[in-house]
Structure 1
Amino acid sequence: MTLDFALSPELEALAAEAREVGREWADRCAIREDSWIAGHDAEVAKDLAARGWLGMTWPVESGGGGRSAMERFVVFEGLISAGAPIAAAWFADRQIGPTLLEFGTPDQQARFLPGILSGEAMWGIGMSEPDAGSDVAAIRTRAVLDGEEYIVDGQKIWTSGAAHADFVYLVARTDPDAPPHKGLSELVVDLGSPGVKVVPIVDMTGDDHFCEVYFDSVRVPVTNLVGELNGSFKQIMRQMEHERGGIDRLVSNRRLYEDVMAGADLSDPVLRQEAAALEIDYRLGRLLVLREVLGQAPRGFSAATKTFCTEHEQRVADFCGRALGPAALVADTELHARAARNITYAPGYTIMGGTTSILRNILGERVLGLPR
């Protein structure tokens, strides 16, 4: 019996369209790597919406496309691999929309989903804090009930795209006396509210998509509480499945790899062997992501998928540097500059979305059931 991994003609055509569109968008940008997080373009978000490429798998009755998970997969694999600047829509489409569909009230869905589907509303995720990066249970930002509003005080960090965002999906402590994992709730906060301050963080590559967000007595309506009061932790774990197991964790620097390979000297046996290993890993990583997309992976397995894929991305950055040689440090051409930036940026791959050390613990304890 033969197992056929080929896509259907319809999916192949959709994938080809996404690659072509993605390259058209990407070629307007100097940097084509990490485009799902660093490539902010509001017009691209609206174009995605016009093509029906936002909310593709959401129910039709909720305004979505009602399309298959594989259709969405090939679209975003093509766009991100090409380096299309989709950050203005990515977090909302990947994570916020599905979370609101699963845990939000009908009123919240009616208020917030249309802006996501039209590509006009950008969202950030307010989770990490200065003393609570991968340890969600250590969150100290507080939301205190005051009549029909919560008063929010605290600080978030590494909030991607917050400088451009309209809303932040905030995780805050609503019961300070509960055990750490049981006193958290989730709120939708309008970033235009009085008391909100957003400060971009410029990293060593010159990017400023990461931000600090300060909340000083910010008033949030009770109607913006998403899901169960003090029940955020289980909701976060579900949300992490959307964040950690996607194709964005495998192909962030695929365009750089392809552009470097076009001129690489593969007569060098060491370089040729490295390229072969990376080609194998691209295929293995893709299969891991497809397990997540098709719902075939066990709960929590996205920790393994993200670990494998992001460590692969670091190997890609290293390979590109070695293939280009000292020119990657000189940065005298666009390609060399992109390689230099990616080499510098690559350590972040295994930090964002949960550090690799934390994810290996999750995999061992929660998926494999190993003793602590």
Structure 2
Amino acid sequence: MPATTSVMRSEIDEQPQALRATLDALLPKSAEIAALAQQTRQVLFIARGTSDNAAVYGSYLIQAHAGRLANLASPSIATAYGARIDLSGVLAVAISQSGKTEEIVETLQWAADCGAKTVGITNGADSPMTRIADVALVTQAGTELAVPATKTFTAQLAAQAVLALGLGAGLDAAELERVPDVVEDMLGRNEEAIDAVVERLAGVHGTVVSGRGMAFSTALEAALKLKEACYLHAMGLSYADLLHGPMAVVDADTPAILIAANSGPTLAGTVALAERVRANGAPAYAIGGGSALADACDLSVPVPDLPEWLAPFSLIVPAQIITEKLARRLGYDPDSPRGLNKVTQTS
């Protein structure tokens, strides 16, 4: 049986410190980012795994608030096909916890060779990625030992929030600077609500995790964590995609975890989805969404009020804790899931 505490839980609890240090280090780089903004029109994110989920947040944030088109790259276009694409006017943003993943480093170099300006977001200060990038945004999460990424994920969110500000997003940096205190205040709270969700999930083999807009990245990351550490068949889906067919998999044995900010343009749709899920005879569990989503679900884990653009920082924390607790509840070691390493090399 695994220990009653884990490195993963310790690293979840280290997130306020990691966020403070990251924001202190990166907010002064806004001028460097702004200089790149003058030379570019759109953003191309290069990432895999957890970093790719973080990039989904950056894509929504930049498109909604900085007025720039943002897309996720297909690294195989560079590494397998060797295609040459005119990337003049593109800001290529690579995200990698270590800064050493060969596929991501190679794709960033490819983007630079194709004419893009480059940014590297990594926790590896002296890594190949930082040597390639025009601007390196080095997060300050410290060493992360548990294989499932937690504090490096939220540090990557912070780096992308700084990136969006540098690219001209009309958002309040002071709100971003409040985030570490909000996350710190929520740690240790709502444990009973989290435990209730864990007990329900302990008896199922699969779940659907859904969110939209800014919360979509959280849904994808929550599903990935449940797969990595709990070996659950967890699907991360936009609620719009869920309604186009996959709703059929949601039933009494396959609950839905619905994730939403406490306010914002996607909340009403998430509430409607919860009502649809329950009408189909399936359980629905909420993370966030305020009282509106809580009233529409069987169980809910509340989160503090943050502006929608910052809500993913608070939404992911309960999902991380649920994952860690569920893994131990099932007799698994959340720190060292089977078949996984900290750095995954792909080609």
Q: Same fold (TM over 0.5)?
A: no
Q: Which has the larger radius of gyration?
A: 1
Tell me the TM-score normalized by structure 1: 0.28
Between the two structures, name the one with larger relative contact order (CA 8 Å, sep ≥ 6). Answer: 2
